[in-house]
Structures are given as structure tokens and as C-alpha cells.
Amino acid sequence: MLKVNRKEYDALRGHGEETYPHECCGVLLGRMDGDERLVTSIVRCGNTRADSPHNRYNIDPRELVRIQREGRDRGEDIVGFYHSHPDHPARWSPTDLAEAHWIGCSYVITSITKGKAETTNSFELCGSDENDKRFADEKIELA
Ligand SMILES: [Zn+2]
């Protein structure tokens, strides 16, 4: 399960409305709370996929390293990622799975329809390595 504070939940959905019709993306920071991931803050990222920003997202690895370091200084770890699907359902795509590498992390997707945030779903990247990784539906609970 992924627990998200209302403020962070609204912020990641709002981010997708702002960048519509392009995809937004960002990082979920927080900590493990038993079996649950608790999101305590989010960090917006620039989408580096200038070639196809409406249906692709990418976070600059250097930006990711910086976010991870600054998070750790505050006692937060990377617990997941989020992005938006402009005018597409909030389900993961084969590309999303291929480009997901953080096993044990949550991947949150929000569908944005005509500029308004609709459904937000979370998927946990399960498995042991790149060969058997898969997404499992995960419940989002608002904290
Ligand atoms: Zn996607």
C-alpha cells in the first residue's frame, strides 16, 4: 500500500494538469512504514523527453542523484515516481514497465482528461531483477 498525504496527492495531480497536454513527472520521497510506503514529500522534475513529451517521460539521472542526496539529508528516501497520462487511462504501458528500474518502488500514474486530473493509480514494481520485474496494482490511501 502507498500512503500519501492529501497535500502531496493534490500536488502531483495538479502538476499533471499544469503540464497538460504534456506528461509531467516527479519523485516521491518518504520512508517505509512497516509494509507500507509513506510519501512525505514530492519533487517535480523536468521532463527531458523533448522528442515526445505527450506520451513519454524521463528524469535526468543527474537530477535524480541530487534529489536522492537532498532527500537523505532530510531523512527521506526515494519511495516512488509519478507521471501523468494526458488523455489516456491511468494504466501502465509496456514502455512504462520497460523504463521502470526501481524494484520495490511505487509508480503512480494520473490520467488527465482535457486538462483535468481524473484517476490516480499506483503500481508497485515487483520482482527480483530486470528479467522478471512486473507491476502489481497497489492501493493508495490518503493519510
Ligand atoms: Zn506512462
DSSP structure string for 81-98: EEEEEETS-SS--HHHHH
Please state whether the peptide bond connecting residue 61 to the residue before it is cis, i.e. omega within 30 degrees of 0. Answer: no
**Residues near ion ligand 1 (Cβ under 5 Å):** 96
Please state whether the peptide bond connecting residue 21 to the residue before it is cis, i.e. omega within 30 degrees of 0. Answer: yes
Residue 52 has pLDDT above 80, yes or no: no
Residue 73 has pLDDT above 80, yes or no: yes
At 128, which amino acid appears?
Answer: S
Of 90, 84, 108, give the one whose Cα is nearest residue 1.
108
Cα 111 to ligand 1 centroid, rounded to whole Å: 9
Residue 72 has pLDDT above 80, yes or no: yes
Euclidean distance between CA atoms 71 and 74, whole angstroms:
5
Euclidean distance between CA atoms 134 and 130, whole angstroms:
9
Question: pLDDT for 87-139, tens place per residue?
Answer: 999 999 999 999 999 999 999 999 999 999 999 999 999 999 999 999 999 99
Considering the candidates 17, 18, 23, 63, report the single residue annotated as catalytic: 23
CB 132 within 8 A of CB 125: no
Euclidean distance between CA atoms 15 and 108, whole angstroms:
13
Of 49, 46, 50, give the one whose Cα is nearest residue 64.
46
Residue 47 has pLDDT above 80, yes or no: no
Average pLDDT over the chain, rounded to an integer: 93
How confident is the model at residue 4, as a pLDDT? 96
Residue 51 has pLDDT above 90, yes or no: no
Task: Respond yes or no: is residue 23 known to be catalytic.
Answer: yes
Cα 140 to ligand 1 centroid, rounded to whole Å: 18
How confident is the model at residue 59, as a pLDDT? 85
pTM: 0.93
Cα 94 to ligand 1 centroid, rounded to whole Å: 9
Residue 21 has pLDDT above 90, yes or no: yes
Cα 143 to ligand 1 centroid, rounded to whole Å: 25
Residue 50 has pLDDT above 90, yes or no: no
Lay out the sheet containing 140-142: strands in order across.
134-138, 116-126, 106-113, 77-86, 25-33, 36-45, 2-4, 140-142
